A = this chain, B = another copy of it.
Amino acid sequence: MADRQLKLGFILHGVGPGWDDWRHPDAQVDASTSLPFYVRQAQAAERGKFDYLFVADSVSINARSSPHYLNRFEPLTILSAVAAVTDRIGLVATSTVSYNEPFNLARQFASLDHLSGGRAGWNVVTSWLAGSADNYGKAEHLGHAERYRLADEYLDVVKGLWDSWEDDALVRDKASGQFLNADKLHELGHKGEFLSVKGPLNISRSPQGQPVIFQAGSSEDGRTFAARHAEAIFTHQEDLAEGQAFYADLKARARGFGRDPEKLFILPGARPVVGSTEEEAERLHGELAGLVSLENALRALGRSFNDHNFSQYDPDGAFPAHVAEEGRKSNQSASEKVLAAAAQGLTLGQIALRVATPKGGFVGTPEQLADRFQLWLEKRGSDGFNLFESLPGQLEVFVDQVVPILQQRGIYKQDYAGKTFRENLGLDVPVNRNTAARLTRSAA
């Protein structure tokens, strides 16, 4: 067995990440709010020993939003439901620090961690589309740098709440009648730039101590934040060299914060299309690409650029440069990818269609897919992948045909190593700050 094992996540996304995916003949059109659909996918991913399920999120829509954003389950509720019918797979919910009370968020994640037997993960997001603030009575969005300052403080508060109970605070001794050891329950007493939270949390420390922290932004501030706090990064490189550069940068930054870089997993998104032959795989990818209209591809592109209206430009012309500049403020990574494609001479329409149905080298036979995954792992382009289901049924195909090859090659686990998500990822339970302080005091 290889030293480093490939980590795999599966993104539960209902009708599919592409604008027109729902039009596929086999697509279930109401998938986004169907518990049976989610359970079927979750159980298939668990059969394939996937490390985790991932639910993305956003908090505002309008009539121009894509089917996938428009109507979907809220992450914490759907993952709580999925927890009850799965056993070992991690459950990563996206939640924003901008519009959730930290006490509520800390509590719901701790609750999910308890009820899942230690399988919760939190994908921390700060960047939202224009319009979100209006759903929360906020005058406006914070600026990019300010958002990350809030995120730093927020994370400290949430971790502090998770630590407000020491592991052995609950005595629960029937004979003596002592339920709680009050010395091991701690107020947080936080008063900072953005937040003021007293604590303690009203749920005990959960099996993982703290849910696993994911992060998904790749701007400069996002990278710093991830290197400091995250245990896994959901990223978007499609090219190995690009992946390697990102990988090396993030691992170096983590080292810079005194962290073990092997405890920060870099996980690009991938949308594999598996066929029994190369031709079949290409035909299937063609089915997928054929679903997308230019109009919707342009709208999808707009979503990464503050809901910009790209239909006003000639699709056979160049990508409008001033828009890319604007986009850097809201979604830096999308913007950079588009600029790179424009530099290659692609037209606006070509860029939109490419973004709508990325190939990313993940179209091929099971052997080819396994080769590709192995290459990225061994060349340190990533530590694994975050998989989207490209076409209905592809998750099952992947589990039945690609996973066994990865296992045979010794780069993917035969079974889960433990019970909790942290155990399965090889991550330690974070030291409880209050226990640490107690030990320091008693040593002094």
Distance (whole angstroms) from the CB of A26 to the closest CB of chain B: 11
Q: How far, in angstroms, from A136 to B107 measured CA to CA in the complex? A: 13
Among A67-117, those with CB < 8 Å from B are 67, 69-74, 76-78, 80-85, 99-101, 103-104, 107-108, 110-112, 114-117
Q: How far, in angstroms, from A107 to B135 measured CA to CA in the complex? A: 11
Given A114-B33, A115-B35, are A78 and B77 also a contact pair (CB < 8 Å)? no
From A198-206, A249-257, A259-267, give the one contacting chain B.
Answer: A198-206
Number of A interface residues at 8 Å Cβ cutoff, please give it: 72
From A1-9, A174-182, A387-395, give the one contacting chain B.
Answer: A174-182
Given A61-B202, A71-B204, A74-B108, are A136 and B101 also a contact pair (CB < 8 Å)? yes
Cβ-based interface call for A25 (8 A): yes
Q: How far, in angstroms, from A383 to B264 measured CA to CA in the complex? A: 56
Distance (whole angstroms) from the CB of A58 to the closest CB of chain B: 7
Chain A, residues 108-136, CB within 8 Å of chain B (1/0): the string is 10111011110000000000000100111
Which one of A22, A134, A137 has the highest number of Cβ atoms from chain B below 10 Å of its Cβ? A137
Among A164-181, those with CB < 8 Å from B are 165, 170, 172, 174, 177, 179-180
Q: How far, in angstroms, from A33 to B112 measured CA to CA in the complex? A: 10
Q: How far, in angstroms, from A179 to B30 measured CA to CA in the complex? A: 10
State whether B83 touches A81 (Cβ < 8 A). Answer: yes
Among A392-428, those with CB < 8 Å from B are none
Cβ-based interface call for A163 (8 A): no
Q: How far, in angstroms, from A74 to B198 measured CA to CA in the complex? A: 18
Copies of this chain, complex-wide, total: 2
Chain A, residues 123-165, CB within 8 Å of chain B (1/0): the string is 0000000010011110000000000000000000000000001
Cβ-based interface call for A44 (8 A): no
State whether A174 touches B77 (Cβ < 8 A). Answer: no
Distance (whole angstroms) from the CB of A279 to the closest CB of chain B: 26
Whose C-beta in chain B lies nearest to the C-beta of A189? B134
Q: How far, in angstroms, from A82 to B77 measured CA to CA in the complex? A: 11
State whether A84 touches B204 (Cβ < 8 A). Answer: no
Distance (whole angstroms) from the CB of A19 to the closest CB of chain B: 9
State whether B103 touches A99 (Cβ < 8 A). Answer: yes
State whether A114 touches B73 (Cβ < 8 A). Answer: yes
State whether B179 touches A103 (Cβ < 8 A). Answer: no
- Contact residues in B for A136 (Cβ distance below 8 Å): 101, 103, 197
Whose C-beta in chain B lies nearest to the C-beta of A135? B103
State whether A135 touches B199 (Cβ < 8 A). Answer: yes
Q: How far, in angstroms, from A69 to B35 measured CA to CA in the complex? A: 31
Cβ-based interface call for A288 (8 A): no
Which one of A61, A81, A197, A198 has the highest number of Cβ atoms from chain B below 10 Å of its Cβ? A81
Cβ-based interface call for A60 (8 A): yes
Chain A, residues 318-358, CB within 8 Å of chain B (1/0): the string is 00000000000000000000000000000000000000000
State whether B35 touches A135 (Cβ < 8 A). Answer: no
State whether B22 touches A179 (Cβ < 8 A). Answer: yes
State whether A177 touches B23 (Cβ < 8 A). Answer: yes
Whose C-beta in chain B lies nearest to the C-beta of A192? B137
A77 partner, pick from B20, B108, B131, B170, beta carbons under 8 A: B108
Cβ-based interface call for A185 (8 A): yes
Cβ-based interface call for A59 (8 A): yes
Cβ-based interface call for A439 (8 A): no
Apart from A67-B179, A76-B77: 9 A-B pairs, beta carbons within 8 A: A35-B83, A58-B202, A71-B165, A71-B170, A71-B202, A77-B108, A99-B104, A103-B136, A134-B196
**12 A–B contacts from the bound complex (CB under 8 Å):** A22-B174, A33-B115, A33-B206, A35-B83, A39-B84, A60-B198, A61-B200, A63-B180, A70-B179, A76-B76, A80-B80, A134-B198
The 10 closest A-B CB pairs, nearest first, are: A137-B196, A80-B80, A134-B198, A63-B182, A74-B111, A84-B84, A29-B172, A81-B84, A77-B111, A33-B114
